[in-house]
Structure 1
Amino acid sequence: MLATPVDAVPEGTDLIHEPKWDGWRCIAFHEDDRVYLQSRAGRNLTTYFPDITRAVRTLPPGVVLDGELIVWERGRTNFALLQRRVTAGRGLLRMVNDHPAHYVLFDLLAAADGRPVLDLPLSDRRAQLERLLGGAPAQLTLTPQTTDMGQVSDWLTEWTVATGIEGVVTKRLGSRYQPGRRSGWWKFRRHLTTEAIVAGVTGSLHSLETLLLGRFDRWGRLRYTGRTHPLHTDQRQELGLLVSPLRPLQHRRATVVHPWPQPLPASWSGQLDRPEALRYVQVEPTTVVEIEADMAFEHQRWRHRVRYARARPDMSVYDVPLLLGEVEGYFDEP
């Protein structure tokens, strides 16, 4: 079951709210002595999470669970450690030992006897899930729920910073579980408005498609930090007047080159489903733009694409927040 994106957290007496965890959505099937973990896209994740399969195996056969796979590091969720499970190879067991995963559960699709419970109200499914997890291994965690909007506010202000959650999921207490449907569930992602430097574009200088963004680190190096969603027509026209092609400069007989490789390495984007390198147009890193980004910021980059808000010709590139660290650089306001 899917959630509909919204611009504000819904309110109502028949609604319940949960944290939106920053991990991999996963359905777990326990059939006899076999456990199968399936991603939202239908991918088999079983091999990569032996610690979770062992934990699920302690539950009665027949259960089908819905939740989020996460890995904690120093009190925050770390999405990159989830991705490394897929590429760890022979180092997988060491990674499992050093960075164990947790399965944060929020729904029950089939009960202990294998009986489907999808048509039951969410409140009934939740009650069964709570009973099922009584005495379960610590790696199987029941997600918090609340009807208190004050608690929701705390999640969005305190938890997003402290633990790395992305936002809030709101559900109708009487909703049925409808696979593949967006009915009765909503998701709100917390966003931050901040600034970045344009150092590349896709498309062409005459027809911009997306912006490649960067920030200076404390040593004065311009680091790649992310990419925008596709630009609208009026945004392309506005930025087309501001960005300019890279001008090679002479410095001690050497040409000062753009600080990023061409094409942009696939590993920089962090997208496992699109592994190809990205060709782009390098531009003079002199244009500052205001963007809206969600909370998924790791290894000095925004994992998801950001939204372009407006150009900031009133700002120097040296007014843009520095990359002081994964958390500090992200929340440091100019």
Structure 2
Amino acid sequence: MGRPLTPMLAAPVDEVPEGPDITHEPKWDGWRAIAFRGDDGVYLQSRAGRNLTTYFPDVTRAIRSLPTGVVLDGELIVWERGRLNFAQLQRRVTAGRGLLRVARECPAHYVLFDLLADGGEVILDLPLSQRRARLERLLVDAPPQLALTPQTTDMRQVSDWLLHWTVATGIEGVVSKRLGGRYEPGRRGWWKYRTQITTEAIVGGVTGNLRGPDTLLLGRYDRRGRLRYTGRTHPLGADQRAELGGMLSPLRPLQRRGGTVVHPWPQPLPASWSGQLDRPEPLPYVQVEPAVVVEIEADVAFEHQRWRHRVRYIRTRPDVSTYDVPLLLGEEEGYFGEP
């Protein structure tokens, strides 16, 4: 099997599909990776086809214990303090000479959900149920860094994952697959349902202009009373821009001993705050008085105490004080909001 290999993908859905031939797995918050166990060692490929091998010596060491001719599909994750930590994955790329120390302090795991080749035999055309059975046998005596993802056809189990695992551990949702389905590289033949939560945040800035903002830049206070950046909304609709444009105010600096109190976020917003592996350019924005609370819908994926994906604006909350908004992500029990 040649590389790079485009992995099979999942299409987003608004509810978890059901049926006698459908099985479900947790959607892990990590990096998708295909592993090739060849005669000359191990090669780890990202979803985009990049070589991740050198960043995960702990995982490649574990894969070397498997027979040659094996090709695996799964998710690279780091588990820290009872929760998935996506930021620790990105540390692998930037650690440089400290990589081995990072790997020792925060070891990674490879959560496996598919087997694409077994002993040199390409098995893409076998049904998922048979590929899963072979994968289970392959991992019987595997090192603990190689974990088999849970799988179930029981919707009660799925509900438990969505209600408890997502908020508590950072599982993003559920991936659903047909038990009789073949593996089709590049095709969105699976389904993914992301858990969404409704919560509040404070508007600290906008892109576009103050009277018709394109997107909102959101924040929350930490325990020291500092307003910290936590994420950005999807583009706003025309009615939403008009509604918010009448409520937002320019920043009002306060004169204090030693100078002027300025906005708590830098201008422009640093590119690294986006949380993406391929960092965009720094983001110029309009700073606003942090006095407007908005209700948003977000998923449970976050890093560096920020939502990693853009959130959806729902409405303003004039009835909620900025000091009643939950604290910075991770600093208050129940900080994710309500599923």
* 2:193 counterpart letter in structure 1: F
Q: Which residue of 2 aligns with 1:131?
A: 137
> Is 1:298 aligned to residue 303 of structure 2?
yes
Alpha carbons of 1:329 and 1:163: their partners in 2 closer, same or farther (altered >3 Å)?
closer
Report SS of the residue matched to 2:278.
coil
Q: Does the aligned pair in 2 maintain the 1:297–1:330 contact within 8 Å?
A: no
Q: Which residue of 1 aligns with 2:330?
A: 325
Please state how far the C-alpha of 1:327 moved relative to its aligned partner: 5.9
Distance across 2 between alignment mates of 1:123 and 1:182: 18
Q: Does the aligned pair in 2 maintain the 1:18–1:145 contact within 8 Å?
A: yes
Q: Which segments of 5 or more consecutive residues in structure 1 lack a partner in the other structure? A: none
Distance across 1 between alignment mates of 2:183 and 2:307: 32
Q: Which residue of 1 aligns with 2:248?
A: 243
Alpha carbons of 1:108 and 1:328: their partners in 2 closer, same or farther (altered >3 Å)?
same
Please state how far the C-alpha of 1:319 moved relative to its aligned partner: 2.1
Please state how far the C-alpha of 1:249 moved relative to its aligned partner: 3.0
Q: Which segment drifts farther, 2-11 or 261-270? A: 261-270
> Is 1:216 aligned to residue 226 of structure 2?
no
Distance across 2 between alignment mates of 1:99 and 1:204: 43
Q: Which segments of 5 or more consecutive residues in structure 2 lack a partner in the other structure? A: 1-7
Q: Does the aligned pair in 2 maintain the 1:322–1:329 contact within 8 Å?
A: no
Q: Which residue of 1 aligns with 2:259?
A: 254
* Aligned positions of 1:1-334 closer than 5 A: 1-112=8-119, 114-183=120-189, 185-252=190-257, 254-323=259-328, 325-326=330-331, 328=333, 330-331=335-336
* 2:218 counterpart letter in structure 1: L
TM-score by length of 2: 0.93
* 2:165 counterpart letter in structure 1: W
TM-score by length of 1: 0.95
Report SS of the residue matched to 1:165.
coil
Alpha carbons of 1:324 and 1:84: their partners in 2 closer, same or farther (altered >3 Å)?
closer
Q: Does the aligned pair in 1 maintain the 2:223–2:331 contact within 8 Å?
A: no
Distance across 1 between alignment mates of 2:279 and 2:332: 27
Alpha carbons of 1:329 and 1:278: their partners in 2 closer, same or farther (altered >3 Å)?
farther
* 1:254 counterpart letter in structure 2: G
Distance across 2 between alignment mates of 1:92 and 1:49: 9
Report SS of the residue matched to 1:176.
coil
Moved over 6 A (4+): none
The percentage of counterpart residues that share the same residue type is 79
Alpha carbons of 1:220 and 1:326: their partners in 2 closer, same or farther (altered >3 Å)?
closer
* 2:46 counterpart letter in structure 1: S
User: What RMSD in Å do the two structures reach over aligned CA positions?
Assistant: 1.6
- Any idea what the Cα deviations from partners look like across 1:146-184, whole Å, max 9, x if unmatched? 11111111111121233221111111111111111112x
How many residues matched?
331
Distance across 2 between alignment mates of 1:91 and 1:135: 31
Distance across 2 between alignment mates of 1:332 and 1:190: 12
Q: Which segment drifts farther, 126-135 or 317-326? A: 317-326
Please state how far the C-alpha of 1:324 moved relative to its aligned partner: 7.2
Please state how far the C-alpha of 1:257 moved relative to its aligned partner: 0.9
Distance across 1 between alignment mates of 2:31 and 2:332: 21
Please state how far the C-alpha of 1:10 moved relative to its aligned partner: 0.9
* 2:136 counterpart letter in structure 1: E
* 1:21 counterpart letter in structure 2: W
Q: Does the aligned pair in 1 maintain the 2:217–2:233 contact within 8 Å?
A: yes
Alpha carbons of 1:50 and 1:248: their partners in 2 closer, same or farther (altered >3 Å)?
same
Q: Does the aligned pair in 1 maintain the 2:206–2:217 contact within 8 Å?
A: yes
Report SS of the residue matched to 1:147.
coil
Q: Does the aligned pair in 2 maintain the 1:200–1:213 contact within 8 Å?
A: yes
Distance across 2 between alignment mates of 1:170 and 1:75: 25
Report SS of the residue matched to 2:288.
strand
Report SS of the residue matched to 2:272.
helix
Q: Which segment drifts farther, 194-203 or 322-331? A: 322-331
Q: Does the aligned pair in 1 maintain the 2:211–2:244 contact within 8 Å?
A: no
Distance across 2 between alignment mates of 1:110 and 1:283: 55
Q: Does the aligned pair in 2 maintain the 1:323–1:329 contact within 8 Å?
A: no
Q: Which segment drifts farther, 272-281 or 195-204? A: 272-281
